[in-house]
Each structure stands twice: as C-alpha cells, then as structure tokens.
C-alpha cells in the first residue's frame, strides 16, 4: 500500500512539474515568435454601471490576457492588455462589438499598440 502511495505522490509531483514547465515554455515560445503584443484602449458609450469592467475582466481572463481595466472620471472605461496577437485581436473585437449585455458601445480607441518581449502584468484585473 505504501508503494502505491509513493508512486501516486511521485506522479502528482511529476504532473505539476510538467504543467509549470509547459506554461513557461509556451510563454517563451510566444515571445520568441514575436506574437506577444500590448495595447492601450478606451471605451466610450454607456459603459459604467453596466458591469462592463466585470465582463471585460472575464473575457480577458478567458483569452489568457494580462493587464487591467478601470472606470474613468469621464464616464469611459480604460485599460491595457497584453497577450498573444490573435487573442489581442479577439479582445479588440469583443470590446468594439459585444461588451457587457447592458452596455452601449459608441466608440473604442486603441493606441500605443506594440510588440513586447515579456509580460509586465501577472494577470488581468479590475483596477480602481
């Protein structure tokens, strides 16, 4: 019985090690391929008081993006995002076309889009 427990523990440690290794490998692979991008954005319309930041956070996390989103004093939503070029493109489309169910998106401005060598954020979050 003790041998089975030892084998299962070793297998669990091995699995965790492989997962962390692959996660780091994929991040480094994306950076080596030049696919890691960053972009700033601002969303205009009815985007405050309609859970826009929550839905933006959920969507960005589902795409594996990193960055932040926050309300502004000008009644807009502003943020930065980093990630794979195709995921950035998907998020840009989502910000322009979808948003939260009760929002009304009048305009989205993207600027300072650039390639980056590495992530500057650990995750995507709502800022205050």
Q: Which residues are catalytic?
A: 53, 71
Measured N-to-C along each axis, helices 52-63 and 85-97 cross at an angle, to the nearest 10 degrees, of: 160
The count of residues in the chain is 128
Residue with tokens 């979050």: 125
**Nearest to 37, CA basis, from 79, 77, 87:** 87
């Amino acid at each position: 019985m003790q041998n089975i427990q030892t084998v299962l523990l070793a297998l669990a440690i091995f699995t965790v090690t492989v997962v962390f290794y692959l996660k780091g490998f994929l991040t480094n692979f994306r950076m080596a391929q030049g696919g890691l991008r960053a972009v700033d954005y601002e969303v205009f319309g009815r985007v405050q008081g309609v859970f826009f930041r929550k839905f933006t956070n959920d969507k960005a996390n589902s795409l594996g993006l990193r960055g932040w989103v926050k309300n502004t004093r000008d009644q807009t939503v502003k943020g930065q995002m980093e990630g794979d070029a195709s995921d950035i493109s998907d998020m840009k489309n989502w910000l322009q076309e979808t948003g939260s169910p009760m929002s009304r998106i009048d305009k989205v401005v993207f600027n300072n889009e650039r390639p980056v060598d590495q992530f500057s954020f650990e995750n995507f979050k709502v800022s205050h």
